[in-house]
């Protein structure tokens, strides 16, 4: 299968959207998606659909973002396939009723337990930077939980959206799983419908639009948003290690990663060593420069490129490495900028691109103060330093997740919940959390008739004798 074999990217007619919604709602209420067998069949079918389409998935990512086959395999294709395998392996155990803990003997006779019911018909809205992972992993959670779903992939990665639609149409039951293509008008029409859950990945401004709309119908939401992620490098850090690891997060998908660091706060004593090592690492990772690196992603579109360029132009800092940009090819060199103040625009907004602003600080306390001096709680936080330094950073900051002596790794563990806190989002998913995300934990008890003699003290009239019982 090649991308040329597929129909062009076309928006779903807005007038079709309520019908698509009604279809998946009806299917949910027919209860067919609830059995373990049905769920496993869908998941396995999706696995093989993706496996068969692997070359086209890689091609689509190259077309949309200039992503290398290496990154596409590591953080998109293998990621989704592994997620399906993990879910299939564990699903039966997750679906089993959970016994209520610490219950007195009398109540145990009522078999108190937690049943795992699917939430219902859900809407999943994906983002462009990891178009497969950010759309399919929530969908895998919805499938596992026995929900029906509509997926709205990001229109900003249109080729990935096309191949996802193809794979989903080929692999999943069309009465239960549908893809809607489009941008704001189509998503707005989707938000007009009543869902049992909305799962949104993207920027916090749109996150608020989703949350407001969902509130009108009391629809629960999971919001996977972004933020300004700090990396704190203390004077006890290994500068070479910190430089290589932090640089990698900005070469990966050209820094268009929600968990890449937005800025680096480094102890003033380590600044020269860190900037030197960043130069060395850049030379090593991109010996022919960004332009000559076929594996280096492009910025997704002109709009995002223009935003990044004006952000770079607005800094009062000094460019140490990089700075080359080319709008025609959407190339944006990884650019290290030494800034003089925490008020610099590069620290004040999420770049979501290959900008690496570095600010020297007096000590760890100042770094922590700057990291906390925000009303937007970060999605991720990175600390490089001694064990005590890292423990202090963790204890005195907040973030959705954190990695110590490295970056991004906490987001790659299939059994760690992934999500934000405060402004960086609410709710989480991955592994079992993906199943939980689309599951209602329904409390159940059942009172045997023969227990009546032991519990009839509850009925009025409330005599003194009954009260003592």
Work out how close the CB of 369 gets to ligand NAD at its nearest, in angstroms, rounded to a whole number: 23
| Nearest CB to ligand NAD, comparing residues 206 and 455 | 206
- Work out which of 68, 129, 249, 428 binds ligand NAD, going by CB under 6 A: 129
User: Among 258, 277, 350, 433, which one carries the catalytic annotation?
Assistant: 258
φ/ψ (deg, to 5) at 174? -70, -20
Helical pair 204-216 and 184-191, crossing angle rounded to 10 deg: 30
Q: Does 183 bind ligand NAD (CB under 6 A)?
A: yes
User: Among 59, 224, 277, 433, which one carries the catalytic annotation?
Assistant: 224
Q: Does 224 bind ligand NAD (CB under 6 A)?
A: yes
Q: Is the peptide bond before 461 cis (omega within 30 degrees of 0)?
A: yes
Radius of gyration of the chain from Cα atoms? 25
Q: Does 125 bind ligand NAD (CB under 6 A)?
A: yes
**224 assigned to active site:** yes
d(CA 204, CA 207): 5
Q: What residues contact residue 290 under an 8 Å CB cut-off, 6+ apart? A: 296, 322, 324, 331, 332, 333, 334
Q: Does 203 bind ligand NAD (CB under 6 A)?
A: yes
Q: Does 350 bind ligand NAD (CB under 6 A)?
A: yes
Cα three-residue angle 250-255-261, rounded to 5 degrees: 65
| Nearest CB to ligand NAD, comparing residues 51 and 208 | 208
Strand, coil or helix: 408:
coil
Helical residues (DSSP H) of 234-372, grouped into ranges: 239-251, 271-285, 302-314, 345-348, 364-372
- Work out which of 156, 165, 171, 338 binds ligand NAD, going by CB under 6 A: 156
Work out how close the CB of 359 gets to ligand NAD at its nearest, in angstroms, rounded to a whole number: 21
**Segment 226 to 255, residues that bind ligand NAD, using CB under 6 A:** 226
Question: What DSSP character marks residue 28?
Answer: H
Work out how close the CB of 376 gets to ligand NAD at its nearest, in angstroms, rounded to a whole number: 10
- Work out which of 36, 184, 388, 469 binds ligand NAD, going by CB under 6 A: 184
d(CA 373, CA 2): 49
Q: Does 401 bind ligand NAD (CB under 6 A)?
A: no
**Segment 404 to 463, residues that bind ligand NAD, using CB under 6 A:** 420, 425
Q: What residues contact residue 389 under an 8 Å CB cut-off, 6+ apart? A: 234, 236, 237, 364, 383
Catalytic residues: 224, 258
Residues lying near ligand NAD in the complex (CB under 6 A) = 125-129, 134, 152, 154-156, 183-184, 187-188, 201-203, 206, 209, 224-226, 258, 350, 352, 379, 420, 425
């Amino acid at each position: 299968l090649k991308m040329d074999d597929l129909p062009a990217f076309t928006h779903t007619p807005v007038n079709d959207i309520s019908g698509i919604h009604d279809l998946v709602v009806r299917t949910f209420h027919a209860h067919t998606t609830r059995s373990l067998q049905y769920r496993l069949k869908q998941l396995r079918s999706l696995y093989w659909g993706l496996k068969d389409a692997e070359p086209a998935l890689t091609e689509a990512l190259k077309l949309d973002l200039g992503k290398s086959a290496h990154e596409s395999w590591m953080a998109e294709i293998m990621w989704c396939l592994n997620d399906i395998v993990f879910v299939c392996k564990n699903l039966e155990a997750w679906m089993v009723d959970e016994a209520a803990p610490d219950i007195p003997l009398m109540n145990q006779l009522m078999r108190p337990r937690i049943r795992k019911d699917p939430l219902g018909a859900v809407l999943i809205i994906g983002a462009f930077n990891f178009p497969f992972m950010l759309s399919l992993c929530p969908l895998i959670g919805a499938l596992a939980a026995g929900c029906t779903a509509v997926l709205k992939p990001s229109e900003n990665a249109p080729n990935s959206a096309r191949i996802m639609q193809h794979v989903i149409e080929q692999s999943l039951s069309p009465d239960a799983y549908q893809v809607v293509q489009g941008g704001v008008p189509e998503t707005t029409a989707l938000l007009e419908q009543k869902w049992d859950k909305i799962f949104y990945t993207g920027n916090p401004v749109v996150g608020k639009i989703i949350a407001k709309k969902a509130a009108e119908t009391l629809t629960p939401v999971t919001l996977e948003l972004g933020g300004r992620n700090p990396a704190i490098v203390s004077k006890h850090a290994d500068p070479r290690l910190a430089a290589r690891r932090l640089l990698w997060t900005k070469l990966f998908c050209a820094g268009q990663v929600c968990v890449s660091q937005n800025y680096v706060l480094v102890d003033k004593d380590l600044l020269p060593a860190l900037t030197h090592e960043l130069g060395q690492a850049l030379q090593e990772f991109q010996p022919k420069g960004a332009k000559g690196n076929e594996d280096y992603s492009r910025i997704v579109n002109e709009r995002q490129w223009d935003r990044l360029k004006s952000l770079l132009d607005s800094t009062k800092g000094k460019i140490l490495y990089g700075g080359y940009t080319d709008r025609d090819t959407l190339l944006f060199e990884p650019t290290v900028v030494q800034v003089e103040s925490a008020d610099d625009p590069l620290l004040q907004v999420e770049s979501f691109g290959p900008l690496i602003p570095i600010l020297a600080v007096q000590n760890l306390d100042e770094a922590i103060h700057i990291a906390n001096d925000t009303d937007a709680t970060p999605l991720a936080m990175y600390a490089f330093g001694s064990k005590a330094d890292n423990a202090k950073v963790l204890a005195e900051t907040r973030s959705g997740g954190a990695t110590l002596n490295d970056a991004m790794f906490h987001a790659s563990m299939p059994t760690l919940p992934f999500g934000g806190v405060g402004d960086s989002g609410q709710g989480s998913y991955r592994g079992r959390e993906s199943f939980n995300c689309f599951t209602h934990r329904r409390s159940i008890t059942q009172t045997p008739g023969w227990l009546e003699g032991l519990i009839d003290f509850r009925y009025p009239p409330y005599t003194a004798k009954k009260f003592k019982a």
